């Protein structure tokens, strides 16, 4: 997954987090076709929130951080997400770090 997305070495922690999340969300034969999260919570899982690691993402720049002639969004690479899925971690081209 990280090799195909040309991921820098310092982002492998995010790769492990997403892989663990995906594994725990996947159905297994030993659980009768249910995922570990489904067995633990008792609720069926939805997968519409998942995104491809390293995919293209655009982040909105608020009006207070740009002027009239600057772009309204920044081109980024999706590198992770939080457990509660409130936000997605992205890698920008302007600085080396996860926002």
Q: Does the predicted model carry a pTM greater than 0.85? A: no
3-state secondary structure of 8: coil
pLDDT per position as a tens digit, 39-95? 888 877 777 777 787 788 888 888 898 888 888 888 888 887 766 666 677 777 665
Q: Is residue 52 part of a domain?
A: yes
Q: Is residue 99 part of a domain?
A: no
pLDDT per position as a tens digit, 1-24? 556 656 677 888 888 888 887 887
Q: Is residue 68 part of a domain?
A: yes
**Residue closest to 53 by CA, chosen among 96, 20, 27, 94:** 20
Q: Structural domain of residue 45, as residue ranges?
A: 9-92
Total domain count for the chain? Answer: 1
Q: Is residue 39 part of a domain?
A: yes
Q: Is residue 97 part of a domain?
A: no
Residue 5: both structure tokens together: 């997305």
């Amino acid at each position: 997954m990280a090799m195909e997305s040309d991921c820098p070495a310092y982002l492998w922690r995010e790769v492990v987090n997403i892989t663990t999340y995906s594994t725990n969300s996947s159905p297994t034969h030993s659980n009768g076709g249910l995922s570990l999260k489904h067995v633990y919570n008792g609720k069926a899982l939805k997968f519409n929130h998942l995104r491809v690691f390293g995919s293209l993402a655009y982040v909105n720049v608020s009006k207070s951080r740009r002027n009239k002639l600057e772009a309204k969004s920044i081109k980024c690479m999706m590198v992770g997400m939080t457990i509660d899925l409130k936000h997605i971690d992205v890698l920008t081209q302007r600085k080396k770090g996860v926002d």
